[in-house]
Amino acid sequence: MSARALFTEWLTFLASEKRASPRTVRAYGDDVERWLDFLMRHLGTAPDAEALKTLSAGDLRAFLASRRGEGLSARSLARTLASVRAFHRFLERRKSIANAALMQVAAPKQPRTLPRPLAADAARQTLVEAGATGRGLSGEPWERARDEAVLTLLYGAGLRISEALALTGADADAPALRVTGKGGRERVVPLLPAIGSAISRYAALCPFPIERSGPLFFSKTGKPLGPRPVQKVMETLRIQLGLPPSATPHALRHSFATHLLQNGGDLRAIQDLLGHASLSTTQRYTAVDEAKLLAVYDSARGKAA
């Protein structure tokens, strides 16, 4: 059986059985398609099932080296490797086409980066300005209320922008949200009164009917709201408020976690609220807190000197 035919089966598996999002299927598919294209050039012929069994770790390292030469970052290379491994795990489990050597290739080291949250005052001011009129933000009052509600969900509930935009009309008056995040993991997120109030203001002004099974947030043309308008609002607010380039919609989610931790929040509870599969992912926020304390300490020492 040809590798291309196996590749097509794998994509179907991802979409139908794994229920991966179209974006995930496309990203993984692009990575593995490049892997198969590389093998055709590397081997001098289109690979089949037997060829996939006999590939060496060196073959995969050569592919990763070629992708690095094309300018891929360490993070993108790690995703590429994860995609190739996922494909070959499928071959092993579903097609009995095993290749242990490929699973031994180590992922490239990732530069350690810390989340970059906003200060608490800056986060609150961002929400206030998003809903204000006459501040240089375009749009009708209902659009300003919508933007405020979306950003409040990111900061007040720790949602990813995709999770906020996936909410339906049934969530408009719910006391808590049942959110499906990365990897299909579900979590329940309580809604603070301020979030409920922001959503209610938007719902009262929205010119489009909000049905329980339909989208909660709309674009100005009446279609489901996409991420770009929200990103543009944050770009405008970043300039108006003098915020750093890291002040993106996702920074509000980082701010949610960081500010909870700084105010005594339990790390495990924050993990559940964020929907992280691993506690180590959530622990990055403790490093943010430590970095801030060290900066304050260094500043105090400098003044004392």
**pTM metric for this prediction:** 0.63
Q: Which two tokens stand for residue 116?
A: 């970059």
Which tokens sit at 243? 């915020």
Residue 202 annotated in active site? no
Second-level CATH architecture of 3-104: Orthogonal Bundle (1.10)
- The SS3 of residue 179 is strand
CB-based contact 282:265 (threshold 8 Å) = no
Helix (H) or strand (E) holding 261: helix 249-262
Average pLDDT along the chain, 305 residues, taken 10 residues at a time: 94 90 90 96 93 94 93 88 94 93 84 77 90 66 93 94 94 90 87 93 96 95 94 91 90 90 85 84 70 47 50
Task: Report the CATH architecture of 120-252.
Answer: Orthogonal Bundle (1.10)
* Residue of 95, 124, 250, 284 with catalytic role: 250
Q: What does the block give as tokens for 201?
A: 């203001």
Catalytic (active site) residue 253: yes
Backbone angles phi, psi at 263, to 5 degrees: -100, 25
Q: Which residues of 53-79 are buried (b: 16+ CB within 10 A; e: fewer)?
A: bebeeebbeebbeebeeeebeeeebbb
Residue with token string 């659009």: 143
- Whether 182 sits among the annotated catalytic residues: the reply is yes
Tallying the residues shown for the chain, one arrives at: 305
CA-to-CA distance for 174 and 287, rounded, in angstroms?
34
Question: 71, 75, 98, 72: which is closest to 87 by C-alpha?
Answer: 98
Catalytic residue among 160, 187, 238, 254: 160
- 254 catalytic residue (yes or no): no
- Known catalytic residue: 276? yes
The catalytically annotated residue of 67, 187, 253, 259 is 253
Please report, for residues 16, 47, 73, the alpha-carbon distance to residue 2 in angstroms, rounded to integers and kept in the order given: 22, 6, 31
Amino acid (1-letter code) at residue 85 = R
User: Is position 259 annotated as part of the catalytic site?
Assistant: no
Say how far apart CA 270 and CA 288 lie, in whole Å.
14
Kindly list the domain boundaries of the chain, sorted by start residue.
Answer: 3-104, 120-252
Q: Which of the following is catalytic: 75, 93, 178, 182? A: 182
